[in-house]
């Protein structure tokens, strides 16, 4: 049974700080990894995808992948109150994507 | 233009009734999904269709019957609704196993 593990939080950071969200996965052959953001009462939206080891940056977001350790993380720099949401790690495989339980992030103004 | 749309947005019904949720995507994707998100916010896949063919049926009770008339549409019919079916149901689409795009969700409440 493939698993994706996330700390459910809540993770609370002050405005302007770096928020660090972590995810581990069990399937060693996984090749692609996604981070989704879900605001309360809304649907998940894709914010980052990463396919190879190392870092991928997009604006204030950086995804980090370490396939040897089966670990993927999301860093949010200069966190804003509008970043307060649940962040879901997702690992697809064979037309079935396994989502983590999500980490709730609160950014305090 | 809405990429993935679902109707209805809210559904309130009594136990034992039958209801349907419709989903349409205009992204040209070949794969569509139904997910259930319960009160604990855990997002769990129910069904996956690729080119109108059922690929994944994730041990969902057979009261749930998906139908894909074409690649752009995936509907979900639920028979004999139970209290435990109350949840938010999301439709999503993707091109193969790449990133998924979600519909706005249907909040189902069974009383």
A10-30: average pLDDT: 93
Residue located via tokens 């997009």: A58
Question: How many percent of chain B have pLDDT more than 90?
Answer: 80
* pLDDT score of B62: 92
Q: What is the pLDDT of residues A79-95, one digit of tens each?
A: 999 999 999 999 987 77
* pLDDT score of B76: 97
CB count within 10 Å of CB A67 equals: 16
> For residues B102 and B41, is the Cβ–Cβ distance under 8 A?
no
Question: How many percent of chain B have pLDDT more than 70?
Answer: 99
Residue located via tokens 């080119």: B51
* pLDDT score of A99: 92
* Interchain proximity B48–A88, CB inside 8 Å: no
Residues whose CB is less than 8 angstroms from the CB of residue B103 and which lie 6 or more positions away in sequence, other chains included: A43, B4, B5, B6, B23, B25, B90, B91, B92
Confidence at B85, pLDDT banded by 50, 70, 90:
very high
- Is pLDDT above 90 for B2? no
Which residues does chain B have within 8 Å of residue A50's beta carbon, measured at their own beta carbons? Answer: none
Strand partners of residue A54: A65
Enter the tokens of residue B58: 């994730």
* pLDDT score of A73: 96
What's the whole-number average pLDDT of chain B?
Answer: 93
Q: Is B56 on the interface with A (CB under 8 A)?
A: yes
- In 3D space, the residue among B35, B21, B8 whose CA is nearest the CA of residue B93 turns out to be B35
For residues B39 and B54, the model is more confident at: B54
* Interchain proximity B90–A99, CB inside 8 Å: no
Strand partners of residue A70: none
Confidence at B96, pLDDT banded by 50, 70, 90:
confident
How many Å apart are CA A37 and CA A19, to the nearest integer?
Answer: 14
Confidence at A9, pLDDT banded by 50, 70, 90:
confident
For residues B20 and A1, the model is more confident at: B20
B73-82: average pLDDT: 97
Enter the tokens of residue B36: 């259930």
Burial bucket for residue B13 (CB in 10 Å: 0-12, 13-18, 19+) = middle
Give the distance from residue A94's alpha carbon to the nearest chain B alpha carbon, in angstroms. 7
B63-82: average pLDDT: 96
Cα dihedral A93, A98, A100, A106 sign? positive
Enter the tokens of residue A21: 């969200």
- Is pLDDT above 70 for B21? yes
Partner A, chain B 7-26, Cβ-Cβ below 8 Å: none
How many Å apart are CA A40 and CA B30, to the nearest integer?
Answer: 29
* Interchain proximity A96–B45, CB inside 8 Å: yes
Q: What is the pLDDT of residues A34-56, one digit of tens each?
A: 999 999 999 999 999 999 889 99
């Amino acid at each position: 049974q493939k698993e994706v593990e996330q700390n459910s939080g809540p993770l609370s950071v002050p405005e302007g700080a770096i928020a660090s969200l972590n995810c581990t996965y069990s399937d060693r052959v996984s090749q692609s990894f996604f981070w989704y953001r879900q605001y309360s009462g809304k649907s998940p939206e894709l914010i980052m995808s990463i396919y190879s080891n190392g870092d991928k940056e997009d604006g204030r977001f950086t995804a980090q992948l370490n396939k040897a350790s089966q670990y993927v993380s999301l860093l949010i720099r200069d966190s804003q109150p509008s970043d307060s949401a649940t962040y879901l790690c997702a690992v697809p495989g064979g037309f079935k994507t396994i989502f983590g339980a999500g980490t709730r992030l609160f950014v305090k103004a | 233009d809405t990429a993935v749309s679902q109707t209805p947005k809210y559904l309130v019904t009594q136990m034992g009734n039958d209801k349907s949720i419709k989903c349409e995507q205009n992204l040209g994707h070949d794969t569509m999904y139904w997910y259930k998100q319960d009160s604990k916010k855990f997002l769990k896949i129910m069904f996956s269709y690729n080119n109108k063919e059922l690929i994944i049926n994730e041990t969902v009770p057979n009261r749930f019957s998906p139908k894909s008339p074409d690649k752009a549409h995936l509907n979900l019919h639920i028979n004999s609704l139970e209290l435990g079916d109350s949840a938010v149901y999301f439709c999503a689409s993707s091109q193969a196993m790449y990133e998924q795009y979600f519909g706005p969700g249907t909040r189902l409440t069974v009383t």
